Structure 1
Amino acid sequence: MEDLTLSISQYEDQLSVVKQALQATQEIGERESLLALQSELQELINLTRESLDVQNNREDDRNPGNDATNTNGLDDEYALFMKEMAETGAYEENKDSQDKPENSGQNESTDSNSDIEDELSSLLGMKCAVYHTHTWGGKPSLHNAMVSSVVPRQDDDQFNDLQVKVLFTHPTHAEMLPCPFYLNGDCKFSDDQCRYSHGAVVKLSDLKEAIEPNYNSVKIGSRILLKLKPPDDEDMSTAKKSTEKYHLWHIAIVKGVDIEKKSCVVKLEHGVKTGEKRKTMSDEHHVMFEEIFPLSIDGDEDTDSDDSLSDTEYPESKTMRVDCDNKALIIEKSLQNNAPAMGGWERYTRGMGSKIMLSMGYVPGTGLGAASDGRLQPVEARSVQPGRSLDHCMELSEKNAGKDPLKVEQKLKKLQKREEERNKRAYEREKEREKRNVFNFLNNTLGDKPEKTEQLITATSVEIKQSTSKDLNIEKFKLEEDCRKIENEILKLQSTLPKYPQGTSGHRSISIQIAEKNKDLNLMRNKEKQIVKEQKQRKDTQKMTVF
């Protein structure tokens, strides 16, 4: 013990020296090493103190043990004395008194178990709130319930292992409705096979405080739980399929409130069928406050509790209330986000999708969802190679991280590039064929150039509409090449024009050539615009047809 105490004092001295060094040091690297040393010394001091406490407890346990051995020795001598007295007949041995010391340990454990059972039995009838998950799935929802029984515990059970059975006080579905035959001990079905509930088994540590109804929050538009009134001639002694709607609580919306009379007019969210004629009951009901149970209110600023009785709302995923701080945080996220602009398809819809999202409160630049942290980019489609394993496809994706060959978009880009190269080669072949044509050579050499150029370039809208998409692509490529050549020729002529004085024949000839080239260029550009317009119209028609 003295060694441990001395070690603790030494460690504390070292810790104080490290703290002084931290105050005097400004370099980042040295401060990090000193902080690590400080945390290690603090942890070492804590471990040493724990060891010291353990030794102190052991010594405390040894002293009562000595007294107990002395007491046990006196008891043994007393028992031996009484046994000898019984043998001589001076004292009649009491068998019960002999058995009592032997069973004292068992009695102590039995007493402790009985105390725990008594404490658990005091929970019977206690109101509480538990989470319930419906049989069809979904997220758990909070419901009021009552403890009906305690699941028998085992000897080695801890507190977290203790379980109880609860019955729901406001059942909204048949699976939550308590089985009347089970309560009377006459149910022939097991817990899993019965249509109704034999009690939900929950851990004792999962029980929450019962949610009290807040009638002050009832207003028009509030959601409540309502129990329907059965007809006078209906037998309501036991729950059955035809009458279970009168035992369940249904969700309704408040349409009118009378504060003075403490009554309200409510309308069921879902129509309830009556029995024989299958007619829908009246959706609106006039009820008193005592006959309803208010559900949570999303917009109530005075409500501080996050837990609320509702079969449609989940505390884990409730929409957070956006206040000034949250708005500032969202704006900061949008400024820090370097993701590409969302929705490249907006150019086809004139931005209607973005306008609708902005009217719903979306902040540009942030993610989707209530917390503005959802993904913006769609999941990229991937085309797996046939006959190849998934491992092989994953290796290809990892090798070509920038240009993944499995992405459908990459394949479409490759096909588009291949089509452009094919069109370019076709144009060059056709151009070479035209050069070798004798008649074209004679027309270009001997014919009237302005009229010939005008005849070649001018194309009516009927001819463009009758051409195929492939021909339009080729013609567009030709026009782009010809426009580029004419522009180069115009630049050369304009650079040559200043060499000749104004009024000379050379100046007039070059000016006429420049005017003709500009005229040809305008005709080509007009034709190119017509082709682009026709291509766009065809694409839009195709997209509308697919949609």
Structure 2
Amino acid sequence: MNCEEYRQQLIQIDGILEACDDDQQKAELLSLKQNIEELLSLSAEPSNSLHHDPLDNEYSLFLAEMAKEEAAPRNPYKDIEGKKFRAPHAHRFGQTVYHNAMVCSVPSEIGNQDFEVRVLFLNPTHKEMLPCPYYFDIEKDCKFSDDKCRFSHGETVLYSSLREYVEPKFEFLTVGSWVLAKRSDNLWCRAKIKHISAGSCTIKFETQSKVEEVPLEHVFPMKSGDEESEEEDSDTETSAINRDEAIINTSLMNVPSNQALGEWEKHTKGIGSRLMRNMGYIVGAGLGRDGLGRVDPVPAIILPPGKSLDYCMKLKERRGDVNLFSADKKLKRRQRSTNFKPAQPKKDVFNVVNEALRTTSQSDGDKKERQRFRESLKVESEKKLNVTGLLLHENIIKCERAIEGYKETLGRSPEDSHVHKRLIDKITWKQDILKMLRAKSALLVQEQQTRLDRRKMTIF
């Protein structure tokens, strides 16, 4: 800028001062006028001066530095700062999605074309994408680092991964169309338009039941026009058809399993199969989007209680039975043991006589045992009776469990084997013991009730 331009500015300032009434603005204009006059006095070359002014050298150096600064090579990518793009964001659940973003900083020195830029997302859908409240605050800084803060301090992405920003077309907004809407927590979520008015619209968020009214600047269309949406829908439909054909071809190569998937649903209404079918599952194919997952159903196993997994695996290897802990196998065993009926021996004269003599002698012995137990209870204290009752209850439970175990083992053994006969004898023996224990328990309860009645009669 030459001296003539400075003089023109002084004339303009004088004109503004005459028409200005604000004292603060007048003071600023007078200060600016004084600075321009000093600059004119320094830049003017005195005609009658014989010595050289040292301020001229400083001003010349200042102009030279300014010229060097303007002539220096400028970063060609510096112009993208503040511009909008579509930037990728890797969500915590593993999927990478493109979102609207703005470039907030570009590195000053660029070594190659594949450099990183820092972006801020314009429509954050998750908390880690939301800009930190202290990011734009000049006076306060966030006490957390970039990787520790719950919010975003700007995300670094490759410049080559940026895509062109697509301007939203609000003219295509209609009632029933899906949009991204801004909530009270500054996050943008999917919503459906219920009503459109001047400057605002009524929406219903996908995760909420109530209807809200938001301004149009807090709404972002998810699709930009009918042509683009139709093209996307056709591409999606074509890819889905191709994927289904590939899944069917893969399922034809699979060896069919002996157990059908969902066979247990014959006892239910089959809601699981209907849900899988609605989600695109093809019968005979594997699980997953591409049908490459598991084909056979996961078998249910029942491990013995109180045993470690290493013990169970070693037991399976030692037995050599892969289905040792299979739930289906155990269920069938239990059904066989429940429906088992021991073979009745052939009855002849000798068997009838022996059984009658055995029963008579056994019944006489049981009567004597019960009589001795009844007489011993009469001389015991109350505390001793309670302890005896507790021991009888524990022995009854143990005896019942032993009988159940013998019956389960009996269902797995052949009927004509020696083990089968021994198990029958053990079951009979345990049943006799259980009968005696229950009889003793009944005598004990009778003795306690007799003492209680006697005590009541004494009180009255």
TM-score range normalised by the length of the shorter chain: 0.3 to 0.5
